[in-house]
Amino acid sequence: MITRDPDAFLALVRTLAPDAGPATARGVFLVSPDGFARADESARDNVYMAQAGFDAAAALAEHRQLHQALSAQLPVVAFAGDAATPDALFPNNVFATAPGRVIVGRMRHPVRQREAQRADIRGFFTDVLGYAETDLATQPHVCELTGALVIDRARGIGFCGLSERCDAQGAALMHAAFGLRATLVFDLAPGEYHTNVVLALLAGRAALVSPDGLATPRAMLDVLAALYGPHVVVLSAAEKLAFAGNAISLTADSVWMSQGAAAGLSPASRRGLAQAGLGLRSVPMSAIEAAGGSLRCCVGEIF
């Protein structure tokens, strides 16, 4: 099922067991911020991107620290960056996986469309891991993968926010490509570019959500409460701006976000994560965040 009807979505999802697959990835991949700079095309619809002050050396140092920190939890593969693709440090929008499959997304801006042409990343998944490839990059409907589509892998369900970075047909293509059981499609609030800045689903049992990032927040809050019960952490506007919603669980007992996002969490939000059994882990990412994304955007998952 793919639907814009929250009631129909919830009626189906309530019948689903969390047996679609593992809740968290078995490995991750990163792309180094070589040539880190402001991507003017992407800045047209990314309100989180800084106007100036891009520090390439600081971004590289932060990215190395992220690599080292994540390596303590699971295998990490890192690809080189390219000055011609300054947004490539956010690879989850372009490449994503489901068990045995790699999916290549259709990016909105030409500067990001170039990332999808990388033979080394495609070859790693197809030739090294032996994954089948679903290539959405050449069709006309924008679908920026796990930027636009937030997935509960255990249940096999998705939440897809529409914006200039994903249209309705793109949502349907991703629903099929990921093999999801159900996807709820909804509108992001004006000015929001990616769902994963305002919503995170954590280890199949908790959620972080920013209501002011959603066009119709009440309906989403009701759905999340029905699925994740007391483990829905509602973020304030300030927490969202600090990138607290751009978080990810890579093990069953932890949640990762940037150091700035963690510092900006309210006591209530911290308690909510702790009550869900998720230990908070963070690394500094202030230089990287100038590019309009944070920790979750840097992490591509390998299922």
Q: How far apart are CA 139 and CA 149, in angstroms?
A: 18
Q: Kindly list the domain boundaries of the chain, sorted by start residue.
A: 2-302
Alpha carbon distance 107, 102 (integer Å) = 16
Which pLDDT score is estimated for 53? 87
Bridge-partner residues for 233, per DSSP? 208
- β-bridge partners, 157: 152, 182
- Regarding beta strands 27-31 and 76-79, do their DSSP bridges make them parallel or antiparallel, or are they unpaired? parallel
Q: ∠ CA(76), CA(80), CA(84), 5° rounding?
A: 140
Return the bridge partners of 282, or none.
257
CB 249 within 8 A of CB 278: yes
For residues 92 and 147, the answer to whether their CB atoms sit within 8 Å is: yes
State the Cα–Cα distance between residues 174 and 238, nearest whole angstrom. Answer: 31
pLDDT along the chain (303 residues), means of 10: 98 97 98 93 89 94 98 98 95 98 97 96 98 98 98 98 97 98 98 97 98 97 98 98 98 98 98 98 98 97 98
Homologous superfamily (CATH) for 2-302: L-arginine/glycine Amidinotransferase; Chain A (3.75.10.10)
pLDDT tens for 277-287 read: 999 999 999 99
Using CA atoms, how far apart are residues 156 and 234, in angstroms rounded to an integer? 23
DSSP the chain: -EES-HHHHHHHHTT--S-SS-SS-SEEEEE--TT----HHHHTT-TTS-SS---HHHHHHHHHHHHHHHHTTS-EEEE---TT-TTTT-GGGTEEEETTEEEE-B-SSHHHHGGGG-HHHHHIIIIIS--EEEE-TTSSS-B-HHHHEEEETTTTEEEEEEBTTB-HHHHHHHHHHTT-SEEEEEEBPTT---GGGTEEEETTTEEEE-GGGBSSHHHHHHHHHHHHGGGEEEPPHHHHHTTTTS-B-SSTTEEEEEHHHHHT--HHHHHHHHHTT-EEEEE--HHHHTTT--HHHH-EEE-
